[in-house]
Chains A and B, each alone.
Chain A
Amino acid sequence: MAPMAYARFPFLSLLLLCCIGGLLAILCTPAAQTRRIKWISAVFSGLCLVLSAGLFIAYDQSAGGLQFVEKFPWVPSLGITWFNAADGFNLPMLLLTGIVFFTAVLTMWELETRVKEFFALTFLLVTGVFGLFMSLDLFFIFVWYDVSLFPMYLLIAVWGSTRKEYGAMKLTLYLLAGSALILPAILYLVVQAGLSTFDLTALMQPGTFTPYQEKFAFLLLYLGFGILAGVWPFHTWSPVGHVAAPTGVSMIHAGVLMKIGAFGVLRVGIFLCPAGWQHWAPLMALLATIGIVYGALVGLRQTDLKYVIGYSSVSHMGIVGLGLATVTVDGLNGAVFQMFAHGVMTALFFSAVGYIYDRTHTKAVAELGGLSRTMPVAAAFFIVAALTGIGVPCLASFWAELMVFIAAFRVYPLYGSLAVGALVVSALFILRVVQRTCYGPPNQRLTHLPDIPPLLGVPRVILVSVIVFFGLLPAFMVNMIQTATVAFFNGLP
């Protein structure tokens, strides 16, 4: 096999082009032809999934490092380059985005209102997400960050439910407040480096920044990206936004967008300011642990299904934060794996709840009941998601959480035990929700409702199989991430 032959082809740009091509194709289709728009969306998002999975498989793990590199000058006077590459950190994220995007499009197959605008905005959003994950140029990372955020406002405010305008506005303002910290930090680092380049690999050479500069910039970057990652106490937008968003958007949002935050902390904050990372790690660990415990405890009190998932997301993203805060290879591996696992799991969760909501028109735990008898398939998907959320072995989250907790116990024994304790609490509240919604006497009003038809079952089946696959064969993912983490730690001073 000649790796260089195909590695030269700009596969990453092709992936972006698939998104943009889908967007343009949708824009050129008359709004009345909703069926055609849905098929276009499915085909192009399917292509994205195939490409991202192909890249994941084609990556040469024994060689490691940056592969599929594309580098062209963009604004030479400012040192901005079109610089995309794949490594062990972003390939899992690209794969995750492909999976969630495709399944979200299929999940929204029954959408009737303003179909064209919905799918166009979704494609725009996902373009930003893919772009951010693959880019190694700070300018583009920032641009993609914002591109992936601002369609959210319309997506939630137009197609959402519960308090949608409030949720949309809150989410947008919070996340752009994050970007208000990120842009100055990026500009500060670029100017201080004096290299007149936005190239991340050039800026991350050891000795580029003084420890003071790294500490200052890392704090801004951590808080800025952390808002999107749902770091306590900046998480309040997240449950509200998840609840307000329509199903497909909740899936992308909780499944992928929140990962952008964590990935940004990793890719920009930790890569550029390792000294700042080590300095602020105790703070990160503290906030992450509070997030884990707080999310679990607040989740215990929720009566709305989507709020339950929303708070469990806060808790699970806390685990990612805790992994990053350990400053160890295992912690980092676990954090990235957890990003992937949580992304797939939460997409399945929202997808299952979305179906239940579409049919029953209620998300209140008290009004549901006996779903395993009235809608056995829908209930099954919901239960699998719940079990993954708890961290049952043989499902993807288990390995991720295990790696983080092992690392956390070594570095922060107290936080580690608190986090494990919170996991037990969260198991309690999720199982209680499962028990109340899926078992017990069925609500008589809801007994006649149809179960998931085969077509709508496809996206959920894909998500479940991904969870089970990486639960049974975690080495596929861990080895991939390992290629990047080990190399990164070897480069640390």
Chain B
Amino acid sequence: MNWTLLSPELFFLTAALVFLGISMSGRPDPERDYLTAVVLGAVGLGICLAYVPLRGDLFLGAYRVDLFSQTFKTLLAMGFFLIVCICNDLTGVAERHHPEFYLLLTASTLALMLLVSCVHLLPLYVALELSSYSLYVLVYLRVDLRQGVRAGLTYFLIGAAASAVMIFGLALLYGAAQSAYLADLMTALPGMLHQPMVAIGVLLALAGFFFKLAVFPFHFWAPDVYQGAPHQAAAYIATVSKVAAVAVLIRVAALTGGAGSFLTDALVALAIVSMTVGNLSALVQKDFKRLMAYSSIAQAGYVLIGILSMSPAGYGGAIFYALALLVMKVTCFLVLVAAAGGGRNMEIAGLAGLHRRSPILALALMMAVFSLAGIPPTIGFTGKFLVFKAAIAQGHVSLVLIAMINVVISLYFYLMVVRAAYLTEPQGPQPALLAPPLTRGLAYFLVALTVLAGIYPTPLITWADAAARGLM
């Protein structure tokens, strides 16, 4: 067996063990934990990038290493690295729990890496559960136990329900196709989609990932969990765990071979409802993290547009969109962590005067929300452009019109964030906000990436397309 194929996974396993060791040492030292995590995260990202060209099958063909999986592993490692970078102010978690926090974060990332490589239903399910259980605990870790418990319980209950629904769907698929290998399902399913059992099986099987992606009707947890969880855990749930969900949704959708009008119709309906519910609910939010939650629900709808196009262009667009989501959301949470301070929750009004307190953070926030709203030249626009183009190529003109109307609705609350940061002045004097050098550097990097990927996205598009084509 060729163990190099598993290098990224093995590295993250080692990293998890390192944190396990630190957590057993019993001496709280946030500085040490933070530095270890940043270094390990950077090395992990480097390893993932280095091993992008790997190809191969493992474990009796149940585990596949291809461009698609390695691309997503790179995205996951990048998300992990960015999120540990904003752990410099991890005051939302008690100091003695910091090693456990990083341990769970690493374990969850490891599980998601396994998830994007699984091509067999059983390990797929196991990997999903492994990542979910890490996250359930992460959410609980909030210092303010009342908020943490409520959020954790919501997340756990809805997650468990979604997972139960999902395994039922997987069982139906297994029953219909007599095999649990995705490759077998891929040949069997397209001919069987007209059978109610198979169509419902696919939809139910997708439920677990709808939950992760916060697609209607599995979105109810998002606002409470975002609000109650520590900022960094919320950021992780909003970004890394969604990236993996996109990956598996694409894999499962690709199984159907583009056929199946019933499935497409169902996905169209879910996409429309998700966008609309997310955007309309976001209009009335006051808390920054709740706003982010509803905006994620809407963004999930846009990602679905790419997936339901069931074409390589659509999948490529969805992959690009996953990267865009990662960049945009991490930027928002970076600003939240720096601006709120002390791990406290922050109202949108709390951004008042940010343009004076820290011009770079205000700029980063503005670019991120404009990108979320899909205004060029930003990475978010390119993502929307790609998925919309793929959808229109499949004849979903009215769907795209509805999505664009949603974009206009969403612009209102995104502009309210810009307004808070640039127009309103704070009550009483507010000191300048001196973000640590790493945060500032990260903010510059994210702004540059947001704009560059909006102006010249060609290499990224080519990469995403290649990854998507390898799947078919």
Contacts and interface: CB of A to CB of B under 8 A. Distances in A.
Q: Do A and B come from one complex?
A: yes
Interface of A: 74-78, 117, 139, 142-143, 146-147, 150, 153-154, 157-158, 165, 169, 172-173, 176-177, 179-181, 183-184, 187-188, 190-191
Contact of A76 (B392, B415, B458): B458
A147 B377 contact: yes
B156 interface: no
Nearest to B406: A180
Contacts of B440: none
* Majority secondary structure, A binding face: helix
Interface string B355-381: 100000000000000100001110001
A359 B397 CA distance: 53
A165 B422 CA distance: 12
Given A74-B458, A75-B457, A176-B408, A153 B415 contact: yes
A191 B405 CA distance: 21
B419 A157 contact: yes
Contact of B418 (A153, A179, A188): A153
A77 B457 CA distance: 11
Given A147-B377, A173-B412, A180 B404 contact: yes
A184 B419 contact: no
B407 interface: yes
Given A78-B389, A176-B411, A180-B408, A165 B401 contact: no
Given A165-B423, A180-B408, A187-B389, A77 B415 contact: no
Given A173-B412, A180-B405, A187-B388, 5 more contacts: A74-B458, A153-B418, A157-B422, A183-B385, A184-B404
B129 interface: no
A187 B461 contact: no
Contact of B465 (A77, A153, A180, A190): A77
B400 interface: yes
A169 B415 CA distance: 8
Interface in B287-342: none
Interface residues of B, number: 31
Given A173-B412, A176-B407, A183 B422 contact: no
A142 B404 CA distance: 14
B457 A150 contact: no
A153 B369 CA distance: 14
Interface string B412-449: 10010011001100000000000000000000000000
Contact of B404 (A75, A150, A173, A181): A181
25 contacts: A75-B457, A78-B389, A143-B376, A143-B377, A146-B375, A150-B370, A153-B415, A154-B422, A157-B422, A157-B423, A158-B422, A158-B423, A165-B423, A173-B412, A176-B375, A176-B407, A179-B404, A180-B401, A180-B404, A183-B385, A183-B400, A184-B400, A184-B404, A187-B388, A191-B393
A444 to B, nearest CB: 36
Given A153-B418, A154-B418, A184 B388 contact: yes
Given A74-B458, A150-B375, A172-B411, A188 B392 contact: yes
A177 B370 contact: no
Given A77-B461, A153-B415, A169-B412, A147 B388 contact: no
Contacts of B377: 143, 147
Nearest to B316: A77
Given A75-B461, A180-B405, A187 B400 contact: yes
Contacts of B392: 184, 187-188, 191
B111 to A, nearest CB: 33
B462 interface: yes
Contacts of B376: 142-143, 146-147
Contacts of A154: 418, 422
A117, A154, A183: most-surrounded residue (chain B CB, <10 A): A183
B335 to A, nearest CB: 17
Contacts of A180: 401, 404-405, 407-408
A184 B418 contact: no
Contacts of B397: 184, 188
Interface string B135-177: 0000000000000000000000000000000000000000000
Contacts of B381: 143, 146
A77 B462 contact: yes
B456 to A, nearest CB: 8
A333 B461 CA distance: 42
Contacts of A190: 389
Contacts of A75: 457-458, 461
Nearest to A178: B408
Task: Give 6 closest A-B pairs by Cβ, nearest first.
Answer: A180-B404, A143-B376, A187-B392, A184-B400, A177-B408, A191-B393
A194 to B, nearest CB: 10
Nearest to B399: A184
Given A146-B375, A177-B408, A165 B419 contact: yes
A468 to B, nearest CB: 39
B423 A173 contact: no
A428 to B, nearest CB: 38
A77 B381 CA distance: 17
Contacts of B465: 77
Contacts of B385: 139, 183
A236 to B, nearest CB: 16
A461 B271 CA distance: 56
Interface string B183-223: 00000000000000000000000000000000000000000
Contacts of B458: 74-77
Contacts of B408: 173, 176-177, 180
A74, A169, A180, A187: most-surrounded residue (chain B CB, <10 A): A180
A150 B456 CA distance: 20
A176 B458 CA distance: 25
A78 B404 contact: no
A161 B415 CA distance: 19
